[in-house]
Amino acid sequence: MTTEPTADLTAADLADDPHPHLAQLRERAPAALVPALGGWLVTSRDLALRVLRDADAFTVDDPRFSTAQVVGPSMLSLDGPAHTRHRDPFARPFRPARTRERFTAFVEAEAARLVDGLAPAGRAELRGELAGPLAVAVVAEALGLEGVDAATVRSWYGAFVEAVSAITAGGAAPAAAAGAYRSLTAAVEEAIAASRPGSLLAEAAGDAAAGLTTAEVVADSAILMFGGIDTTEGMIANAALHLLGHPDQLRLVLDDRDLLPAAIEESLRLEPSASVVDRYATRDVVLGEARIRAGDLVRVSIAGANRDPAVFPGPDRFDVRRHNAAEHLAFAHGPHFCFGSHLARLETRTALTALLDRLPGLRLDPGRPARPHGLVFRKPPRLDVRWDR
């Protein structure tokens, strides 16, 4: 690797409050070598788009890719025809019309059930009592994992997230990830064998054109847990935190519910729940003033790109009327764009609607302040709220 431009940042800096550091980097060196991360960090939106769009020059298909180390080759860690073969059987059911038809009633019923269960208490911890359970229920429903309780599913993806975060920070995957993967494998094998109507796993395994093996279906289902559970949980929690933390913006949404989708896009821009994605240079490339060498790790800071002032004026401000908030990169871009984005938006919009409709005077608990945290997956560790009973 070349040594300039270089940034003396730690993983802890970026996990705690990355935005001031990312702003300085973006102004000084939008593609900078960060030794603590083992590679380059891209922080401007234009360079981020260039990396994400060009799978020939910047690939995920590398044995160092963190998720591949945890679950093996999958749609997230392959490019080209192999990527298409893994992705297409899972992506087709998540097209907009099919997503609305398949999931709207289920998500609305589940969100209402969860919020109504919280209502009598007058207080709750929204990440653990709403955002997480809703995301888990939807993924279990989509995959057809009948007979697997929510706590088990959460333990699986929690182990995977911990492992990916540890590898990204330069460590090793905890041993718990292997045990979780064995349990997931058994559940996927059962779901495929049962072939229940509507089971995404059975549908993918039965796609003759793709010809995925059971092991490949298991790997791809683990990836769906990252997008379908952890990042959706974070998306819901972050959106609730942003709205409740900005009473003036909340009032705009309460007065005009048509602003709610825009508020969600602005929250995605301000604090994407997946804040960084990895690529590997396949050849020597120049990014800005950085001379990337073949084989170098190139980490794209979605969080940095989403606050690029060249695209988003006043980038640190939460503004539900921002005209171009949807130009964020929270769902990535290019061949690895998140095909579950429509479902994640549906879940977030439905959860926030249930909260605002059913919990009068909903507000943050002033005795338990919250803010997002995390190197790769960013969300508040807990989100305590209160309301009028």
Supply 136's token pair: 């888990």
The answer to whether 288 touches 29, Cβ cutoff 8 Å, is: yes
Whole-number percent of the chain with pLDDT over 90: 73
Over residues 129-136, mean pLDDT: 95
- Virtual torsion, Cα 50, 54, 56, 57, nearest 10 deg: 10
Supply 26's token pair: 């973006």
The answer to whether 300 touches 334, Cβ cutoff 8 Å, is: no
Tell me: pLDDT of 1 over 60. no
Nearest Cα to 204, choosing from 184, 176, 186, 224?
224
**Contacts of 378 by beta carbon, 8 Å cutoff, 6+ apart:** 234, 238, 271, 272, 273, 274, 275, 303, 372
Please, what is the average pLDDT of the chain?
A: 93
**pLDDT confidence of residue 155:** 87
Determine phi and psi for 377, rounding to 5 degrees.
Answer: -105, 110
**What is the residue type of 276?**
V
Q: How confident is the model at residue 325 (pLDDT cuts 50, 70, 90)?
A: very high
Least confident span in 16-20, 202-206, 238-242: 202-206
Tell me: pLDDT of 141 over 90. no
**pLDDT confidence of residue 271:** 98
Alpha-carbon distance 122 to 124, whole Å? Answer: 7
Tell me: pLDDT of 261 over 90. yes
pLDDT digits over 209-230, tens only? Answer: 899 999 999 999 988 887 789 8
The residue with greater pLDDT, 123 or 144, is: 123
Distances from the Cα of 124 to the Cα of 88, 362, 370, 373, 383, angstroms: 39, 10, 13, 20, 8
pLDDT digits over 279-305, tens only? Answer: 999 999 999 999 999 999 999 999 999
The domain segmentation of the chain, as residue ranges, is 11-386
Q: What is the CATH number of domain 11-386?
A: 1.10.630.10
Please compute, for residue 178, the number of CA atoms within 13 A of its CA located in the half-sphere on the CB side. Answer: 4
Over residues 143-171, mean pLDDT: 84
Tell me: pLDDT of 4 over 70. no
pTM over 0.75: yes
Over residues 7-27, mean pLDDT: 92
**Contacts of 167 by beta carbon, 8 Å cutoff, 6+ apart:** 66, 69, 70, 173
User: Which residue bears the tokens 């020597």?
Assistant: 284
| Ranges assigned E (strand) in the chain | 31-34, 39-42, 58-59, 123-125, 276-281, 285-287, 290-292, 297-301, 363-364, 384-386
